[in-house]
Amino acid sequence: MKSERSKRLFQIANSLLPGGVNSPVRAFKAVGGNPLFIERAKGSRLYDVDGNVFIDYVLSWGPMILGHTHPEVTKAIKEAVSKGTSYGAPTEKEILLARLIKKAFPSIEKVRMVNSGTEATMSAIRAARGFTKRDKIIKFEGCYHGHADGLLAKAGSGAATLGIPDSPGVPEDYARNTITIPFNNIKVFKETVNRHRKDLAAVIVEPVAGNIGCVLPAPGFLEALREETERNEIVLIFDEVMTGFRVSYGGAQSFYKIKPDITCLGKVIGGGLPVGAYGGKKEIMSIIAPEGPVYQAGTLSGNPIAMTAGIATLTELAKKGTYEKLNKTAEMIEHGLKDASKRAGIKTRFYRAGTMFCTYFTDCEVIDYSTAKSSDTVKFGNFFRKMLNRGIYIAPSQFEAGFLSLSHSAADINKTIISAYNSFLEIK
């Protein structure tokens, strides 16, 4: 694999950007080597500046569920750009995207658009605190809710990859209001609610924990969150930034049939442009300015180009048969990877929710952050490099989910499974 140009660009980038990147996990630190600089992408393929081609399972960390440069999305964006890129005044596009979101997520009665998942979760928590007039929140170990202060405690994703448990720069006063407990542990959750219920504004959770790989909710776990929060008038926030329009069209809440009070969205709803959103019960959302006193704003929020990309993406996804097709591809990869690891005689655990999935190099059932960490990350690093050399681009970290798109063909999946089998044999 040639990588001269990527290497040179990374050297220059390092002199200009911290770590040479604008988001930590991109730097390949956990797996070694240099990140690839990308020139273009189409469908399931990524093309780097050295002329290498890869089948892409990162998909911009989730958003590109239709595949890259989807013709309808690209066309819509081009048309929108010719009408101006930002006005700072309302447009009809904001209504259209809000309608599509509301239709897919019946728990969302009113929604506010923002520019990232981080803004969505940060603002949702502010709304919950304003609404309940309480300060404390519960989050779960390994769940990542963006990089806002107070949400970075045991936060998974890049923090897990780089072994940063709690970020410096977050005042203790902020972190004190965040109670962190293990994912999937109903007993500890109930005890914690009992102890703090008078002070708890919100419980925030990734209904499928996708920032420590792919950890599924144990039977009864999400139900327990719903029951306890309802009983104690605590706001239940589902962070569906990753799972929204990914686990199913209506997200994890439709798949697991649980209605949260507030839902956070991002990634897929921007179709590859910077968009986030948070929405939920009317009485809670009415606390947001200018309807209510809780302030939250954005110069570029509801940006017409970003709204256009989101509308085009959700419109494609809403077409009949889309999720059947996505699920069929996902079943192929699941059966193929499980079978390949068995034939190669390597111990792995595979988990999947819709089109997000993860292979852990462990013998232990993965149910939370500590069991996810039992995965052999040295083996993962070797696997990652072998796959990259075979033209398969997976996330450069054990603690990130893999993603599939509508553009991944049966031939793509077959090539991936054969590559995985050979890589498993070489690293075991």
In the beta sheet, which residues pair with residue 203?
Answer: 138, 236
Contact 266/276 with Cβ under 8 angstroms? yes
| 227 Cβ contact partners less than 8 Å away, ≥ 6 residues apart | none
Looking at the Cβ atoms of 351 and 421, the one nearer to ligand PLP is 351
State the Cα angle at 290 between 286 and 206, rounded to 5°: 50
Q: Contact with ligand PLP (CB under 6 A): which of 28, 144, 189, 256?
A: 144
- Rounded to a whole number of angstroms, the minimum distance from the CB of residue 203 to ligand PLP is 15
Residue nearest to ligand PLP (CB): 117
Catalytic site positions: 144, 239, 267
The answer to whether 246 contacts ligand PLP (rule: CB under 6 A) is no
Written as six digits, the tokens of 230 are 């309802």
Q: 252-271 mask for ligand PLP (x: CB under 6 A)?
A: --------------x-----
Question: Cα(14)–Cα(9) distance, rounded to whole angstroms?
Answer: 9
- Rounded to a whole number of angstroms, the minimum distance from the CB of residue 266 to ligand PLP is 5
Looking at the Cβ atoms of 121 and 359, the one nearer to ligand PLP is 121
The answer to whether 423 contacts ligand PLP (rule: CB under 6 A) is no
- Rounded to a whole number of angstroms, the minimum distance from the CB of residue 205 to ligand PLP is 9
Question: Cα(140)–Cα(257) distance, rounded to whole angstroms?
Answer: 20
Q: 363-392 mask for ligand PLP (x: CB under 6 A)?
A: ------------------------------
Kindly indicate which of the ranges 133-141, 185-193, 239-247, 255-263 contains the residues binding ligand PLP, using the contact rule CB under 6 A: 239-247
The answer to whether 146 contacts ligand PLP (rule: CB under 6 A) is yes
Distances (CA, A) of 211 to 84, 158, 391: 36, 8, 24
The answer to whether 242 contacts ligand PLP (rule: CB under 6 A) is yes
Looking at the Cβ atoms of 152 and 387, the one nearer to ligand PLP is 152
- Rounded to a whole number of angstroms, the minimum distance from the CB of residue 182 to ligand PLP is 17
The answer to whether 303 contacts ligand PLP (rule: CB under 6 A) is no
The answer to whether 154 contacts ligand PLP (rule: CB under 6 A) is no
* Burial environment of residue 2 by CB neighbours within 10 A (0 to 12, 13 to 18, 19 or more): exposed
Looking at the Cβ atoms of 116 and 341, the one nearer to ligand PLP is 116
- Rounded to a whole number of angstroms, the minimum distance from the CB of residue 144 to ligand PLP is 5
Written as six digits, the tokens of 100 are 């599509």
DSSP characters over 363-408 = SS---SHHHHTTS-HHHHHHHHHHHHHTTEE--SSTTS-EE--TT-
Give me the count of residues in the chain.
Answer: 428
What DSSP state is assigned to residue 349?
Answer: E
Q: Contact with ligand PLP (CB under 6 A): which of 48, 239, 368, 412?
A: 239
Looking at the Cβ atoms of 35 and 244, the one nearer to ligand PLP is 244
Looking at the Cβ atoms of 310 and 419, the one nearer to ligand PLP is 310
- Rounded to a whole number of angstroms, the minimum distance from the CB of residue 151 to ligand PLP is 9
Written as six digits, the tokens of 297 are 């704003």
Q: Contact with ligand PLP (CB under 6 A): which of 6, 52, 107, 121?
A: 121
Looking at the Cβ atoms of 146 and 386, the one nearer to ligand PLP is 146
Q: How many CA atoms lie within 13 A of 90 on its CB side?
A: 7
Residues from 183 through 222 that contact ligand PLP (CB under 6 A) = 206, 210-211
The answer to whether 241 contacts ligand PLP (rule: CB under 6 A) is yes
Among 8, 7, 5, 27, residue whose Cα is nearest residue 17: 27
Q: 87-116 mask for ligand PLP (x: CB under 6 A)?
A: -----------------------------x
The answer to whether 398 contacts ligand PLP (rule: CB under 6 A) is no
Looking at the Cβ atoms of 30 and 268, the one nearer to ligand PLP is 268
Beta carbons within 10 angstroms of residue 230's beta carbon: 12
Distances (CA, A) of 131 to 109, 233, 265, 367, 395: 16, 10, 20, 32, 38
Q: In what order do the strands lie in the sheet with 45-48?
A: 38-42, 45-48, 53-56, 392-393
Q: In what order do the strands lie in the sheet with 349-353?
A: 349-353, 356-360, 402-403
The residue ranges that bind ligand PLP (CB under 6 A) are 116-118, 121, 144-146, 206, 210-211, 239, 241-242, 266, 276
